[in-house]
């Protein structure tokens, strides 16, 4: 998805230059000379697609400011190539996913290292309820924005009525959790492997629920977290408690992108207590930690937070004598997969590190465009 590193290093770091023109004028006029990218594909999509142009005009005009993420020509070309040379499906909807009525300018990025901004893509267009969000991670001068996959801001143009962030990839709308887990598992990255979770959800007939319930927040323990449970709890016990354990990882009535401290009722019925100290998030009572902001994945129906521990509901914990199961030791712990989970031949549990591999949550090329089609079909 990324433009070549060569091009990337040739680009100046995020330097905003102010334009006297509106967002729409800037995007429909010739770019200033000397830019190391072109926006002609986006420009022609805006002019060709009445939906696109209307929405760009609305952001700039009616709403008095906003943000447009503008993929370069190379980004569009890469996405078309991923799609076997075919046009990007549902391109008007994909364009709407690049527009926000929220002003994400430099001041905003300085104040918000991690944020989730609504876009015009939703089932109710401008009312934007529910609207699809984009994750924005600012580590200035670097800014990463993620839909289904992360892309980087390579230039910023301040327009008279908002801001344009030029990005090195097309922002693809998010998908459901099955697709995300499948794509991550296909990467075979040991620190971000969810084969146990995926098959455990299947075995308990919960996959459809987590894919369709909305809004939803899912805490996703890594494989190594599941291996720790398999080592600590007899398989028969585990099988019996699996459905309760899994549903205890789901908040079924809210999207908590950045959960504030407090108590959240889970689908299992009991609550989890979140302790958020300055963005470092733990689940009180279990000591489970959220992994880095890179391991927060937006879904079409909510959000996934990757965690390093399997959460055990208090009532079950009482019977087991513990409500957390410490991370697996680095070696010799591949004893058994989680009960009910098929043996997927997962690699030995890694010494899980937050890492930023979720940045490559892109997954397989094949999955991406199918996921876009599925996501926008649901939203259309
Ligand atoms: C932008 O487009 C112009 C005109 O087609 C071309 O001459 C130029 O090389 C392009 N620049 C980049 C960085 O692709
Ligand atoms: C659109 O949103 C409304 C309310 O938020 C919801 O009831 C409805 O099912 C949604 N429609 C689709 C097609 O997602
Ligand atoms: C920004 O990204 C560049 C290239 O990946 C990296 O070398 C640099 O350390 C990053 N800066 C910050 C503040 O993260
Ligand atoms: C899952 O659904 C199948 C088919 O309806 C059923 O046979 C099976 O018992 C269910 N499993 C669980 C754990 O609920
Ligand atoms: C964790 O939970 C316990 C019991 O509910 C409570 O007493 C304690 O204050 C909580 N700790 C934090 C840091 O919220
Ligand atoms: C959580 O961590 C604290 C401090 O390390 C420890 O005393 C406590 O037993 C842990 N709680 C659980 C449930 O593992
Ligand atoms: C989840 O997404 C995949 C592909 O992206 C799609 O095939 C599947 O139908 C979706 N599941 C649900 C329940 O929406």
- In short, whether 287's Cβ falls inside 6 Å of ligand 6 is yes
Cα–Cα distances in Å, from 146 out to 33, 116, 184, 260, 352?
A: 29, 9, 15, 22, 23
The answer to whether residue 322 scores a pLDDT higher than 50 is yes
Give the ligand with the smallest distance to the CA of 244: 4
The answer to whether residue 201 scores a pLDDT higher than 80 is yes
Mean pLDDT of 237-245: 91
pLDDT reported for residue 60: 60
pTM for the model: 0.80
User: Cα–Cα distance between 57 and 80 in angstroms, integer?
Assistant: 26
pLDDT reported for residue 374: 44
- Is there a contact between 171 and 99 (Cβ–Cβ < 8 Å)? no
Atom number of ligand 6 nearest to Cα 285: 13
pLDDT reported for residue 64: 63
Atom number of ligand 1 nearest to Cα 37: 13
State the virtual CA torsion across 160, 162, 167, 170 in degrees, nearest 10.
Answer: -120
pLDDT reported for residue 123: 52
- In short, whether 178's Cβ falls inside 6 Å of ligand 7 is yes
129-176 pLDDT, tens digit each: 468 999 999 999 999 999 988 899 999 999 988 999 999 999 998 888
Mean pLDDT of 315-326: 68
Higher pLDDT, 12 or 123: 123
pLDDT band at residue 291, thresholds of 50, 70 and 90? confident
pLDDT reported for residue 130: 66
Residues in the chain: 380
- Is there a contact between 322 and 374 (Cβ–Cβ < 8 Å)? no
- In short, whether 273's Cβ falls inside 6 Å of ligand 5 is yes
For every residue of 136-181, DSSP letters joined together read EEEETTEEEEESSSEEEEEEEEEETTEEEEEESS--PPP--HHHHH
Taken in order of first residue, the domains within the chain and their CATH numbers are 5-167 (2.30.180.10), 177-379 (2.30.180.10)
pLDDT band at residue 330, thresholds of 50, 70 and 90? very low
Q: Which of 88-97, 140-149, 305-314 has the lowest mean pLDDT?
A: 88-97
Q: Which residue of 228, 316, 324 sits with most ligand 6 atoms within 8 Å of its CB, as the best mutation to test the pocket?
A: 324
10-66 pLDDT, tens digit each: 333 344 556 678 888 888 888 888 899 999 999 888 877 655 666 666 666 545 678
Mean pLDDT of 290-313: 88
- Is there a contact between 135 and 167 (Cβ–Cβ < 8 Å)? no
72-82 pLDDT, tens digit each: 999 999 999 88
Mean pLDDT of 107-115: 95
- In short, whether 324's Cβ falls inside 6 Å of ligand 6 is yes
Question: Average pLDDT over the chain, rounded to whole?
Answer: 77
- Give the SS3 label for residue 296: strand
Mean pLDDT of 249-259: 91
pLDDT reported for residue 145: 96
């Amino acid at each position: 998805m990324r433009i070549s590193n060569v091009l990337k290093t040739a680009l100046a770091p995020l330097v905003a230059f102010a334009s006297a023109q509106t967002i729409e004028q800037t995007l429909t006029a010739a770019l200033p000379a000397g830019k190391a990218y072109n926006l002609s594909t986006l420009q022609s999509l805006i002019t060709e697609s009445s939906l696109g142009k209307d929405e760009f005009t609305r952001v700039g005009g009616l709403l008095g400011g906003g943000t447009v993420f503008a993929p370069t020509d190379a980004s569009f070309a890469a996405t078309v190539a991923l799609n076997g040379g075919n046009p990007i499906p549902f391109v008007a909807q994909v364009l709407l996913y690049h527009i926000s009525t929220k002003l994400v300018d430099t001041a905003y990025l300085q104040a918000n290292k991690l944020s989730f901004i609504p876009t015009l893509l939703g089932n109710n267009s401008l009312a934007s309820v529910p609207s699809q969000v984009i994750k924005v991670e600012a580590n200035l001068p670097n800014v990463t924005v993620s839909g289904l996959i992360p892309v980087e801001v390579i230039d910023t143009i301040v327009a008279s009525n908002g801001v344009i962030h030029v990005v090195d990839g097309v922002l693809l709308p998010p998908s459901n959790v099955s697709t995300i887990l499948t794509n991550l598992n296909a990467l075979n990255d040991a620190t971000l492997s969810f084969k146990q979770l995926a098959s455990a959800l299947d075995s308990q007939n919960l996959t459809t629920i987590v894919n369709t319930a909305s809004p939803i927040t899912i805490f996703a323990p890594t494989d190594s977290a599941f291996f720790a449970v398999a080592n600590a709890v007899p398989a028969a016990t585990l099988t019996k408690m699996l459905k309760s354990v899994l549903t205890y990882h789901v908040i079924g009535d809210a999207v908590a992108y950045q959960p504030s401290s407090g108590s959240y009722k889970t689908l299992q019925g009991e609550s989890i207590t979140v302790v958020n100290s300055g963005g470092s998030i733990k689940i009180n009572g279990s000591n489970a930690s959220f992994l880095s902001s890179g391991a927060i994945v937006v879904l079409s129906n909510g959000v996934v937070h990757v965690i390093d521990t399997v959460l055990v509901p208090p009532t079950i914990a009482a019977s087991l004598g513990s409500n957390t199961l410490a991370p697996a030791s680095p070696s010799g712990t591949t004893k058994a997969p989680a009960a009910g989970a098929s043996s997927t031949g997962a690699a030995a549990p890694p010494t899980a590190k937050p890492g930023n591999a979720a940045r490559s949550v892109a997954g397989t090329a094949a999955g991406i465009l199918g996921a876009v089609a599925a996501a926008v079909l649901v939203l259309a």
